[in-house]
Amino acid sequence: MSTRLLVSGTLINGAELELDGDRARYLGKVLRARVGDPLTVFNGDGMEWAATIQSIAKTRVILKIGDAREAGTESPLKIHLVQGISRGERMDFVVQKATELGVKRVTPVLTEYGVVKLPAERAEKRREHWQKIAASACEQSGRTRLPLIDTPAPLRSFFGDKPKSVDAELILVPGAATTLVSTPPPETKVCILIGPEGGFSDVELEDAGIAGFTAVSLGPRVLRTESAAIAALAVLQSLWGDLR
């Protein structure tokens, strides 16, 4: 599989595209690319383009854009992951694997028992950090659409502003009477809410029920937050998405 790069701007067959800064250094110093090497580029609109390196320098690379093609890597199931923010690399890991598993949107939320406290001035920086992780995961996994990463917000704020056009709204709760695999299938859109390391408070569970979320479990064992996210997304895609 050729190197894949997420780039900005309009891509047109026959046009030239200039890369500079980190993108150029990555090709030249890390990959040791050469003139004539093939690449695949995409800009997040759902298509990808063949490309060839025309010239390469330390801080500047020129690509020649070729034919556009459908990648066929986007799932027909539109999954919105609402994830209680966990510490450090755990949240990075969730964003990365959620992207690889085809999630369309990730909403990081601050919860009562969560150990992470993000002041407003840091929230947007964290969003930008997670968006970069998602972009890299798209390059690696073959995806052509970048998932939306929302700015972190309190869980209660999410309940007040949550999208209306969702077929199924689920919240993972250990010991819930209903299992995820027994949930009626959605038409195209599902929202799943997963707690942080400390789980949800009783008030948050009550708020989720009022907001229309159905409690479901993944089985008899209690999983870590990052394990729960990956397992739940894999199950959803296996039941109703493109892992069937």
Q: E-strand spans in the chain?
A: 3-6, 16-20, 38-42, 47-56, 60-70, 78-84, 105-110, 148-149, 153-154, 168-172, 189-194, 214-216
What is the rounded distance in angstroms from the CA atom of residue 217 to the CA atom of residue 153?
A: 25
- CA distances (Å), 181 to each of 82, 188, 218, 234, 236, in order? 19, 16, 8, 11, 8
CB neighbour class for 205 (10 Å; exposed up to 12, middle 13-18, buried from 19): middle
User: Under a CB-based contact definition with an 8 Å cutoff, are residues 177 and 155 in contact?
Assistant: no
What is the rounded distance in angstroms from the CA atom of residue 215 to the CA atom of residue 220?
A: 14
User: Under a CB-based contact definition with an 8 Å cutoff, are residues 103 and 109 in contact?
Assistant: no
What is the rounded distance in angstroms from the CA atom of residue 19 to the CA atom of residue 17?
A: 7
Which pLDDT value is given to residue 20? 87
User: Under a CB-based contact definition with an 8 Å cutoff, are residues 26 and 60 in contact?
Assistant: no
For the entire predicted model, the pTM comes to 0.92
Which domains, from first to last, does the chain contain? 3-70 (2.40.240.20), 78-240 (3.40.1280.10)
- CA distances (Å), 70 to each of 36, 40, 76, 89, 132, in order? 23, 12, 14, 33, 23
Which pLDDT value is given to residue 1? 56
Of 51 and 198, which is predicted with more confidence? Answer: 51
Q: DSSP code of 30?
A: I
Q: pLDDT for 170-195, tens place per residue?
A: 999 999 999 999 999 999 999 999 99
Q: pLDDT for 44-73, tens place per residue?
A: 989 999 999 999 988 899 999 999 999 899
